[in-house]
Structure 1
Amino acid sequence: MNNTLGKAPLAWGAIHFYQDRPTPKRTVQRMVCYMTRFSFTVLLLLVTAGVRGQVVHDPVGKNIRIITADKQLAISIDYATGCQITALEINNENTLAPTGIFTAIQTTDAYLSSQEQPREIDVSSRSDRVILEGITLGAATESWQFDVKGDKIIWTISRTYAADLALEDMAMPAWHFADLTTWKGGILDNGGMVWCKYLASPHDTYGVHTGGVTFWNEEKQDGLHIAAYADDGRFIAAKYSQNEQGAFTCTHLVTDTELGQRYHLSRFVHGKADVFAPFEVKRGRTQVTYELSRINYFEVYDRGTLPGIDQTAVRELLNTTGRYGVVDNRIVGANGWITNWKCLHEPFFAQIGLAVNDKNYTRNLSATLDQERDLAMLADGRVLSRWHDVPGDEIPNTYNEETGYYEAMWGYTIDSQTGYVINASEQFQQTGDVDWLRSHKNSCERALDWLIRRDTNGNGIFEMVNNNIAEKKASDWIDIVWAGFENAFVNAQMYEALNQWAECEEVLGDLEKADYYRSVANRLKQAFNKTVEEGGFWLPEKKQYVYWRDNDGTVHGDNLVTPVNFAAIAFGLCDDPQRVATILEHIEKRTVDEHLFHWPLCFDSFKREEVHDNNWPFPRYENGDIFPTWGYLGIRSYVQFNKELALKYIRNLLEQYRKDGLSSQRYSRTDQSGLGTDILAGISTTVTALYSDIYGVRPKWNRMGVEPNMVPRLNGTKFTYTLRDTVYELTLSVNDYRLQTQDFSVKSSQAFGVGRSGSDVIYYPENKETMRLAVHTEPNDFSDLEVIQWEAGNYQWTARGEQRKQFTVVGLMPDTDYQLMINGQPQKVRVAKDGSLAIRADESATMFALRSDALHAN
């Protein structure tokens, strides 16, 4: 046991000896000696420590030690001259700097800390609790209460203000960890993360409006979870920093109103610890509770068994780069907190959330989309393209200093319209929150209609705000390339947005709008695939899609722009097998010839007049560098053509993560080194596609779905996935997929979805709603379903369970005769007028088959 920071090592050593070894007579005598020597109760020993933990109080040395029942977490409190936690040990290793943990307040002319106190602290203790009272911070007084409950330590700080106060800062408390290497980072309870290495200089500070955090270090299984709970109606915030002594600090603030930012809207500031604006506290009591627990990081964030995949790199990438785009509450993006930026013209935030699989991220993204609906959408439906902490990047007079939303100086990036709709649609499929979706119905329709109105020539292709390269303005994410007027990249995203939103309209019951948006999408698809001579984007001579057409008819971007061509395939605009093969074979050959680990933004140079000076000479920046941000489009394209190639680039990116942490904006085309200070969380999308497009995790609003694209080397993949508080265990091999919960197991060789309706388990073939097989179960009856075949007119499945078997098949040919076989015994059945068929069998029935010579209608 490490006693370095304890005030009574002998007393603690005796207790430790008593707990862990037989207790000979001599040891008992020594313990009695200690207690006699102090002439009163020196130690409060919890006999049942193995179950409840223990509190050890040394009144003479004025220190307290609290240890959890599993002995994995311990804290030491010193109240000799002040009051502070001097050690926080995880598995006997102290994580704190000498300054420890303490509370404080700061006014304009005074700094008052619990570390120095004018009078003695009053302490009362019992077997599982200790209370310290009389801590004075000027006009404020505090009490600390610690409860040990099993493997957790509960710390409650109660602070009473004698009067209203204006404060510059506070610590309630401040946690000082040894240095920036103590933890790799902290996973925040808003889905984001603090990455310690980026607090590189003294007082570099990141401040967020949430308090809970899980600190981890990937080299150790031990992590520290701090859950934070403030009084009802009060707000909790935290700031993370490096102090002048090199300690890594976490400081909690609890206030009556939500804190503002001191420097514009900046959440991260260089060299300044006071990231939050001054604030007032009201007379009366404020209380906050912290629940401390040691976690096994490897278990809590376990990614399962992933054959053929570096699962450690997957875990670390998603917990760092993937989460880094969360700037704060209601600001979930992909640029991240170091640069205080969020681009609304990116459609993959919900997809990142799908792979991260953290309900806190999901909840925060919903709140982010709410805020953008309310603050970043203009009356005519235009969605502003960016959020930033300071002005300077905007088209003049578009920056809102209160909200931070604005139009980018490079031009009106129109993919903010499609990005909002795609993210809202995919977010709904994850949350299943129909009321939330309904609150975005009007705004999503306005966003789409704003862009639909821009088809001024009526050719089915939607136009940008800028007309030609002479204007030197951008219109999409590739923001210093002068793409304009009819932009294939934005139109491809528009096609995806229209189709995804049409599904949402159906859920909301507006079939007329669903049909309308699908008809608009179909017209766009037809126009998109025409040759450039016919007004479309297909260039037969080079067998690729071009990037854009100016208003004078001039065609630009025939230099094999990868996100444009990938988007056409991934979103389903290009479904011609020959075109798909030609494009992807060409891209693969060029990538292999240059020995690139990932696809560049374009393979050949734009023309000089088509790009900003920063893109010259080729290859440079958006004119030829490697931007993995659009990797998911590449993976989604290649799984339709060659799954092994898709997997190759996922593995390449994970290997790159092992080299540099993927904490770059882009990679050099020439030497493939990381470039750019603006780290992009979107650089993780190649790996998020591992979940959505290889493992096929495709949640729908009323079910869990799997649509895998497995290859043999991945056989035996097994991991858990939590969707809407249900934990699913996925077991995946080629043509062999199983989803299992504590209530049911469903297995199939084809893609499927499975949901619950009351006690019924519902199977959705191909993860679509055109047909359904409902298994009616009794309470506490585990349902074990295997679908052997599900093709038009030929359906076979097995079911096991101790109760009578009852099924309903929906989506069959109405008023049609089928042959039903139960355990090989045939019978004739007739489908109802609504296309449904009810099937009942006794508990011995296990094999079912339903056959018809006619195809079902839908």
Structure 2
Amino acid sequence: MHLKPIFTIIALLALNLTAYAETEDIVIQDKTKSVTLSVPGKKLSLVIDYGAGCMVRQLLVNGVETLSKSGAYTGIKTGDSIFNSTSSRQVKLSRKSDGITLSNITYGGGAMMVNETWDFAIAGDQIHWNITRNYSNSARVQEVAFPKWNFAGLDVWKGGILDNGGMVWCKYLKGNNDTYGVHTGGVTFWNDKSGNGLRIAPPKGKENFSTKFSNENNAFTCTQQLSPVALKQQHNLSRFVAGKADVFAPFMVEAGTVSATFSLQYVDYFKEYSRGTLPGIDAGAVRELMNTTGRYGVVDNNIIGANGWLTNWKCLHEPFFSQIGMALNDMNYTANMAATLDQERDLAMKPDGRVLSRWHNAPGDEIPGTYNPETGYYEAMWGYTIDSQPGYVINTSEQFDLSGDLQWLRSHKSACEKALDWLISRDANQNGIFEMMNNNIAEKKASDWLDIVWASYENSFVNAQMFEALNLWANCEDVLGDRDKAAYYRAVAAKLKTAFNKPVEEGGFWSAKKKQYVYWRDNDGSIHGDNLVTPVNFAAIAFGICDDKERIAQLLDQIEQHTASEDLFHWPLCFDSFTQAEVSPGNWPFPKYENGDIFPTWGYLGIRAYTQYDKSIALKYINKLLLQYKKDGLSSQRYSRTTQLGLGDDILAGICTSITALYRDIYGIRPKWNRMGIEPNLSQHLNGTQFSYRLRDTLYQIKLNVDDYSLATDRFMIKSKQSFGANNNGNLTNIYPQNREDLILQIEANSNSQLKCNLGKSSPEGLAWTVASEGTYNFRLKGLLTKTQYQLIIDNRKTLVTPDSNGNIAFSHTCKGLSSFEIAKVL
């Protein structure tokens, strides 16, 4: 029997079947001159017309059409003339194994002609669209569509997450030609009802992409541009302009060829942006709040703020931008935050260390002569808001914990020292409290975030923030190896703490009569702001400048009694009225604006304060805030004290900070520059909380129960009843009991298998742990007392050991099952 012909036939059939499988997602219709490209599973499909013009006619995302009849196309705008690929008539199609090529796409007029080639390729779950464009001549253009996407309406997507950490919120492109433009090319659009998402990613490493998002007759458009240099704004420094499509200024293109490849991908939004399993918390509301309000403060590259892109504003005197990045857990936001602080160091800091307080797109809000039209930085017209000094330092310190970039931190060392020293030098009477630049209420000037309240001279709110900044920066000085500077700033902080807590009669801020910290003292010694100002009193507790348990109880019980009696969903700025002489007339009659309205921006201070005192109260206001988000999107500047309805033209991204505090202070997410740390403060009904968290290049799986915490990667799984931190480098795992660096347990494995370790109680006297994974391990404990005997117990076998001159002990052990270890100082 001759089997070869049979095998040949079978092989040919198999080849034909394979060829069919490779081409079933590419369908060419010669009669209609259209091509349909689909990824396997058809989560994403494109229909491209190339007969009567060349365009992407349909973009189906999980079977849902997203484009308007205008589709997507490429083009240019020169002056009043608009040319695009839909006018091209002699397009040529060629077939490839993984896609198609469309060439001879020509359009233009006058002195400028464009010839393009579109190359589409299916690569896994993505469709790559390469656009190669040849300009016939150099010319000044108003705009290039590279390409332009015309979506069917403003409700196709809720918004788009940008690859600088920000977002475009479709509902705020309310009027025709309302336009938002940013200097980045990547975006992930999402629909919060279906969970469908579309990611458009530009090529990595390609510079000078920009994107504008517009309302064009109630269609939502996204125009991506590739330019030779970074585009400038057309209207002052505005990233958002109402009723005008020309957000970017005209620019030159050069004769010749440019090219870029965009990757299109379906995204399961609910899965990719999942917040995990959060018992007792509305995880969906957390996701949406952080992806809208939390990201909205990103105005553009190098400008992360809280007022955001609609009003083109950023206040540098806000200390919580890096903390928002911790909760967002988006490496793009983190990178942009580093660049933002770089720009502020270089452009917003004066030679003497004064940090300018604001950025805006246009003059009009500044102290005369302080606005820089090239950079946008200036001093606010309401007064010198001094909290920009600690704000810069706090954000820099917390940003470093996220990035772990020592070189970056070193580049900010001098600037942070100058910022701190500038305010330290203002302690003219050497009492340990730092004075503002205004002296008394008669000047009618502000000195902090509450910019139409005339807080003057010795301001407790700014000084509480300064205490936090001094301690955080001292930690950074330690990391940088400058022990003298670290000790100096800690000593300054200690002196401030002592002075701050003195009774008002002795020059401090504590009012025993009112059982609260007062807001400020004028230079004549008069006391102001004893009307229970919440951010002042919360800051004192949250930043640890007040650690007196009796005072904490008096304050927090008092605030809760007031808040509950009015059934407020969040804390107001103050509970009683300032006097008329202490505030701008716009704050009258009480409660109005900064004299009594609800500003959730400072919620994280309240959550942090209550977490250590009564977690149930902290959780109550977290859940109330999430419920409010579901009602109105939390896209307001503030809320009326009387109606609890949103007010103000601004949207303040800081409204999300109660949720950042959920992550930091309840779930205990405490990244450090050299490790991932967790310091939870859970209640029983949060048991079973679990989610993923990416820090730098490592994805951590976190599981939390009361007194039962787990942190896992592919290299280790560590459990503990106490706070801890950990990192991994190859086969070496570093464990930091209580998430501190004074005692470190290092475990080096002899294989690539996952280390399973249960960390027991740690104390200055010793540490206990177990290892449940099999293998031979090298153990090293660092930070023990020298010249001191310890008892090492391994599986109940006891040995006396003495640390070396560096406080280290090392030993090896082969674990064949569950092995227990303990090191304890011999008393």
Do the structures match in fold with TM over 0.5? Answer: yes
* 2:570 paired residue among 598, 602, 611: 598
Look up the match of 1:19: none
* Residue from 310, 326, 333 that aligns with 1:361: 333
Correspondence for 1:125: 95
Q: Does 1:554 align with 2:535?
A: no
**How many Å apart are 1:649 and its aligned residue?**
0.8
1:278 Cα deviation after fit: 0.5
Q: Per-residue deviation at 1:358? A: 0.2
Whether the aligned pair in 1 keeps the contact of 2:689 and 2:704 (CA below 8 Å) is yes
By how many angstroms is 1:180 displaced?
Answer: 0.5
Kept after mapping to 1: 8 A contact 2:731/2:752: no
Asked if 1:225 is matched to 2:199, the reply is yes
SS in structure 1 at match of 2:657: helix
Residues 794, 231 of structure 1: CA spacing in aligned structure 2 closer, same or farther, 3 A cutoff?
closer
- The equivalent of 2:824 in structure 1 is 851
Post-superposition offset of 1:730: 0.4
Please name the residue that 1:712 is paired with: 684
Closer/same/farther in 2, CA of residues 479 and 52 from structure 1, 3 Å limit:
farther
Q: What code does the residue aligned with 1:447 have?
A: A
In 2, are the aligned partners of 1:466 and 1:485 still within 8 Å (CA)? Answer: yes
Aligned to 1:37: none
Q: Which residue of 2 aligns with 1:154?
A: 128
Say which SS state the counterpart of residue 842 (structure 1) adopts.
Answer: strand
Q: CA deviation at 1:231?
A: 7.8
Residue pair 1:817, 1:831 contacting (<8 A) in 2 also: yes
Match of 1:13 in 2: none
**Which whole-Å deviations, capped at 9, do the CAs of 1:243-274 have from their partners, x for residues lacking one?**
02x11100011100000000000000001111
Q: How far does residue 779 in structure 1 lie from its aligned partner after superposition? A: 3.8
In structure 1, what is the equivalent of residue 317 of structure 2? 345
Paired position in structure 2 for 1:15: none
Q: Distance in 1 between matches of 2:730 and 2:406?
A: 18
CA-CA distance at 1:53 after TM superposition:
6.3
Aligned to 1:136: 106
Partner of 1:34: none
1:802 to 2:735 alignment = no
How far apart in 2 are the matches of 1:793 and 1:80?
80
Q: Distance in 2 between matches of 1:813 and 1:257?
A: 59
Selected match of 1:78 from 30, 42, 49: 49
Q: Secondary structure at the match of 1:804?
A: strand
The range that moved more, 349-358 or 833-842, is 833-842
**Structure 1 letter corresponding to 2:25:** Q
Of 162-171 and 678-687, more deviation after overlay is shown by 162-171
Task: Look up the match of 1:40.
Answer: none
One-letter code aligned to 1:228: P
What residue number does 1:110 align with?
A: 81
1:323 to 276, 286, 295: 295
Equivalence for 2:31: 60
Alignment of 1:274-673 (within 5 A): 274-673=246-645
For the 8 Å contact 1:52–1:148, the answer to whether it is kept is no
Contact 2:789–2:826 (CA<8 Å) still a contact in 1? no
Tell whether the 8 Å contact from 2:515 to 2:555 is kept in structure 1 after alignment: yes
8 Å contact from structure 1 (residues 53, 68) kept in 2: no
Shift of 1:289: 1.1
Kindly indicate whether the alpha-carbon contact (under 8 Å) linking 1:737 and 1:748 is maintained by their aligned counterparts in 2: yes
Question: By how many angstroms is 1:756 displaced?
Answer: 2.5
Q: Which consecutive residues of structure 2, in runs of 5 or more, have no partner in the other structure?
A: 1-15
Work out the CA distance in 1 between the residues paired with 2:537 and 2:655: 19
Provide the rounded CA distance (Å) in 2 between the counterparts of 1:672 and 1:620: 12
Deviates more, 1:776-785 or 1:692-701: 776-785
Give runs of ≥4 in structure 1 deviating > 4 Å: 45-53
Q: Measure the CA separation in 1 of the matches of 2:117 and 2:338.
A: 37
Q: 1:555 to 1:823 in 2, by over 3 A?
A: same
Q: CA deviation at 1:415?
A: 0.4
Specify the code of the residue in structure 2 equivalent to 1:382.
R
- 1:805 is displaced (CA, Å) by 2.6
Take 2:18 and 2:47, find their aligned partners in 1: how far apart are those partners?
20
How far apart in 1 are the matches of 2:182 and 2:456?
38
Q: How much has 1:722 moved relative to structure 2?
A: 0.1
Deviations 1:424-471 (A, max 9, x none): 000001100000000000000000000000001110000100000000
Cα distance change of structure 1 residues 351 and 231 upon mapping to structure 2, 3 Å threshold: closer
| Letter matched to residue 154 of structure 2 | L
Displacement of 1:758: 4.7
The one-letter code matched in structure 1 to 2:52 is T
Question: Which residue, out of 216, 219, 234, partners 1:243?
Answer: 216
Q: Distance in 1 between matches of 2:157 and 2:607?
A: 33
Deviates more, 1:180-189 or 1:75-84: 75-84
Deviation at 1:782, TM superposition (A): 1.5
Determine if contact 2:22/2:97 at 8 Å carries over to the other structure. Answer: no
Normalising by structure 1, what TM-score? 0.93
Q: What is the alpha-carbon distance in structure 1 between the residues aligned to residue 744 and residue 23 of structure 2?
A: 50
Q: Could you report, residue by residue, the CA deviation over 1:377-432 in whole angstroms, capped at 9, with x for unpaired residues?
A: 00110000000001000000100000000000000000001100000000001100
Say whether the 8 Å CA contact 1:53–1:151 is kept in structure 2: no
| Matched-pair contact (CA < 8 Å) for 2:126–2:263 | yes
User: What residue number does 1:782 align with?
Assistant: 754
Count the aligned residue pairs.
Answer: 807
When normalised by structure 2's length, the TM-score is 0.96
Aligned AA (1:65): T
Encode CA deviations 1:513-569: one digit per residue, 9 max, x unaligned.
000000000000000000111000000101100000001111100000000000000
Give the drift of 1:52.
Answer: 7.5
Q: 1:54·1:128 contact (CA, 8 Å) conserved in 2?
A: no
User: Would you say 1:176 and 2:146 are equivalent positions?
Assistant: no
User: Is the 1:50–1:70 contact (alpha carbons within 8 Å) kept by the matching residues of 2?
Assistant: no
Q: Who is 1:95 aligned against?
A: 66
Please report how far the alpha carbon of residue 763 of structure 1 lies from its aligned counterpart in structure 2 after TM superposition.
Answer: 1.0
Q: Distance in 1 between matches of 2:460 and 2:62?
A: 57
Stretch deviating more after TM superposition (551-560 or 830-839): 830-839
Partner of 1:38: none
Shift of 1:495: 0.3
Q: What amino acid sits opposite 2:454 in the alignment?
A: W
Q: Work out the CA distance in 2 between the residues paired with 1:130 and 1:564.
A: 63
User: Displacement of 1:801 after TM fit?
Assistant: 2.6
- Given that 1:104 and 1:113 are in contact with CA atoms closer than 8 Å, whether structure 2 keeps it comes out as yes
Once structures 1 and 2 are overlaid, which stretch shifts more, 419-428 or 639-648? Answer: 639-648
SS in 2 for 1:569: helix
Runs of 5+ consecutive residues of structure 1 not aligned to the other structure: 1-44
- What residue identity is the alignment partner of 2:185? G
Matched residue type, 2:212: K
TM-superposed deviation, 1:50? 5.5
**Which residue number corresponds to residue 9 of structure 1?**
none
Q: Which residue of 1 aligns with 2:187?
A: 213
Residue 122 of structure 1 deviates from its aligned partner by 1.0
Return the letter of the residue paired with 1:216: W
SS state of the match for residue 764, structure 1? strand
- Does residue 192 of the first structure (1) align with residue 166 of the second (2)? yes
Change in CA separation of 1:848 and 1:231 when aligned onto 2, cut-off 3 Å: closer
Deviation string 1:698-736 (CA, Å, 9 cap, x unpaired) is 001000000100000000100000001100000001011
The 1:386–1:53 alpha-carbon spacing in structure 2 relative to 1, beyond 3 Å, is farther
Give the distance between the partners of 1:628 and 1:667, measured in 2 at CA.
8
* Other structure's SS at 2:306 match: coil
Do 1:52 and 1:69's aligned partners in 2 also have CA atoms closer than 8 Å?
no
Q: Secondary structure at the match of 1:394?
A: coil
